[in-house]
Structure 1
Amino acid sequence: MATLSVVFAVLAAVSNALGTVLQRRAALIVPQSDGFQLQLMWDLLRTPIWFFGILGVIFAAVFQGLALVTGPLAVVQPIFVLELPFALLISGLVFRKPMPRSGWLSVACIVVGLGTALAAAAPSGGELQPPAALWLLALLCCGGMMVVLAGAALKRPVGRARAACLGTAAAIGYALTAALMKSATDTLDHGGVRAFFTAWQTYAFAAVGVCALFLLENAMQAGPLVASQPALTLGDALISLSLGVTLYSESVRVGWWLVPEIFGVGLVLLGVVGLSRLQSGSGAPEEEARSESAETSVDVSETA
């Protein structure tokens, strides 16, 4: 079951990376906004490529649900760190900016580091359904941080800082969504369809997921993918690990196992920083795409 969970988690990471890049492409096509506006969602709904991005997100949700019902939250969600290299590789294809050799070294650091950390930590066990008191605490803490980060983002101009704040807020939302989804899928597995649709977690993970998606859409429009994606993937993994341990009482190995765990996390961070610097100095293909979109809009308006 553990191997099956890992396979589903990797498939979810690939699907989500594809969806994220396509949504980023769509966000560059629609008119840019300075604040949170529902008009952004309406503009995206009229953009065909956005639907393909949402399709990737839907497949990711299905794979994620299968992974969560077959494995611990502390195993499944950290694997989503792989979404970052997958997203940058796919971004290179979509924006016609191939990954240089140095980028592959960073990708290798992330993969090896993640494998080392998870193998050393060996998350296992846990409760199937957390108590109501812990759910209330988790909802208040995660929801409060999402509001604080969104408010901080609104005080900053469009750019990397704003994208990072929104990306982190989205990461918290996605981690909480995964925790709620794990509870809901367990209800579906043991109680059937009727129990699934009468459980509050089902509607909670849908609502939190929509909020996280809205924050992500604004994060991708607020700045380059390299600013929002690391915050999203690393934040999701770390917060999910914390929720797995505190909310679901999942266990990880400590003692001398902390040495390879820290080493693995260090490799992951090294790879993320390497990919970030690579994207920062690569000519920002997203900005070029936005410029092309802007020029196309001007040409159309002048023709009209």
Structure 2
Amino acid sequence: MSLAAAVPLGVGSAVVYGMSIVVQHRTAQEHADDEPSAAGLLRQMRSPAWLLAIGGDFVGFLLQIAALSAGSVVIVQPLVVLMLPVALLVSYLLGGPRPGLGELLGVTGVLAGLGVFMGLVGHGGMTHVPKARYFALTVAIVFVAGILLCLAVTGRNRIVRAVTFGAVAGVYFGTLAVLVDAASERVSRTDGLGVLFTTPRGLVPLVGIVVVGVGGIVLTQLSFQIGALGATLPANLATDPLTGVVLGAALLREHLPTSPWHIAVYVLCLAAVLAGTIRLANPYRDAR
């Protein structure tokens, strides 16, 4: 486990994701119907710009895999919040609003919260790979609960649906990171990719990655059709690292100091990151 490799790779992944997400949102808006629809999703999937952005997501995913191979999910996944400052800059370069003092304070809050959290957690410890049935149960609960939550907000206003879709997509992506971490740990212990296809402890996480990965991508694109990136992106970036850290500690038994003092500081770090994320999302609120 190498923190020196995991952090730069995790930052690189967040940068690539942040660049891609702006293009995806703009493309979704160009092809969106009055309501989120499969037809609108199919139209944007034929757009060269959207395909290029999805290619960027694939590069970001490869960097994330490399980061999780070098470090624990409780260290790597919180770095995903850096997507938002990157998206802010890319949006400005593509003709969006100029970042002001509020946005700079938002960046400061995000970086400060992440820095303190990572300093407290340290290396995160070694990853424990549980039995396949625990992976299967986790994926089933997360996926079904997410779908039910999305169905529950059918017919609600656009902001509520955008926040819900974004939050559920974030939970899916956080779960995906835990599965990738477990799969990479399994491969490293056996010195071969074949273990992912020949043993339950390898195959179940691999299937789970496909399920929650596809679910997260679809929900993200549908939320972009709604038009409220300022609602969906903060929700996504709040639940993604939170899910990764919680499942990383509970399912993979990665080390997370839990003294009352540590928990109090974690809450302050989360508050700083959330405040900065919401502040940075403001320029997107009226985008449509």
TM-score by length of 1: 0.86
Conserved in 2, the CA contact under 8 Å of 1:121 and 1:257?
no
Counterpart-to-counterpart distance in 1, 2:33 and 2:55: 23
Counterpart-to-counterpart distance in 1, 2:32 and 2:135: 39
Counterpart-to-counterpart distance in 1, 2:100 and 2:266: 29
Distance verdict in 2 for CA 1:276–1:246, change over 3 Å: same
2:216 is matched with which residue?
212
Letter in 2 for 1:232: N
Conserved in 1, the CA contact under 8 Å of 2:142 and 2:172?
yes
Letter in 2 for 1:173: Y
1:7 is matched with which residue?
8
2:33 is matched with which residue?
32
In the TM superposition, residue 240 of structure 1 has moved relative to its aligned partner by 0.7
Structure 2 SS opposite 1:84: helix
2:171 is matched with which residue?
172
Counterpart-to-counterpart distance in 2, 1:131 and 1:95: 50
1:61 aligns with 2:61: yes
The 5 Å alignment of 1:270-285 reads 270-280=275-285, 284=286
Aligned match of 2:249 in 209, 221, 245?
245
Counterpart-to-counterpart distance in 1, 2:50 and 2:197: 28
User: In the TM superposition, what whole-angstrom CA distance separates every residue of 1:112-144 from its partner, at most 9, and x where no partner exists?
Assistant: 111112212335224341223422331232112
Q: How many residues align?
A: 281
Letter in 2 for 1:250: E
In the TM superposition, residue 93 of structure 1 has moved relative to its aligned partner by 2.1
Between the aligned residues of both structures, percent identity stands at 26
In structure 2, the gaps of 5 or more residues are: none
Distance verdict in 2 for CA 1:86–1:149, change over 3 Å: farther
Counterpart-to-counterpart distance in 2, 1:197 and 1:59: 23
Counterpart-to-counterpart distance in 2, 1:174 and 1:34: 24
User: In the TM superposition, what whole-angstrom CA distance separates every residue of 1:22-56 from its partner, at most 9, and x where no partner exists?
Assistant: 1101101113252442x233212221110121011
Counterpart-to-counterpart distance in 2, 1:9 and 1:66: 8
1:131 is matched with which residue?
131
In the TM superposition, residue 94 of structure 1 has moved relative to its aligned partner by 2.4
Counterpart-to-counterpart distance in 2, 1:247 and 1:84: 28
1:182 is matched with which residue?
181
Structure 1 SS opposite 2:252: coil
Structure 1 SS opposite 2:130: coil
Conserved in 2, the CA contact under 8 Å of 1:121 and 1:261?
no
2:237 is matched with which residue?
233
1:262 is matched with which residue?
267
Counterpart-to-counterpart distance in 2, 1:202 and 1:59: 18
Letter in 2 for 1:21: V
In the TM superposition, residue 104 of structure 1 has moved relative to its aligned partner by 0.8
Counterpart-to-counterpart distance in 2, 1:173 and 1:221: 19
User: In the TM superposition, what whole-angstrom CA distance separates every residue of 1:233-268 from its partner, at most 9, and x where no partner exists?
Assistant: 111010111110111011211322334333222221
Distance verdict in 2 for CA 1:193–1:140, change over 3 Å: closer
Counterpart-to-counterpart distance in 1, 2:241 and 2:26: 24
In structure 1, the gaps of 5 or more residues are: 288-304
In the TM superposition, residue 184 of structure 1 has moved relative to its aligned partner by 2.2
Letter in 2 for 1:229: L
Distance verdict in 2 for CA 1:92–1:13, change over 3 Å: same
Counterpart-to-counterpart distance in 1, 2:245 and 2:94: 31
1:52 is matched with which residue?
52
Which portions of structure 1, spanning 4 or more consecutive aligned residues, are displaced by more than 6 angstroms?
A: none
Conserved in 2, the CA contact under 8 Å of 1:164 and 1:228?
yes
Structure 2 SS opposite 1:262: helix
In the TM superposition, residue 88 of structure 1 has moved relative to its aligned partner by 2.1
Conserved in 2, the CA contact under 8 Å of 1:162 and 1:223?
no
1:20 is matched with which residue?
21
Structure 1 SS opposite 2:278: helix
Letter in 1 for 2:12: L
1:79 aligns with 2:83: no
In the TM superposition, residue 20 of structure 1 has moved relative to its aligned partner by 1.2
Structure 2 SS opposite 1:251: coil
Which is greater in Rg?
1
TM-score by length of 2: 0.90
Distance verdict in 2 for CA 1:223–1:149, change over 3 Å: farther
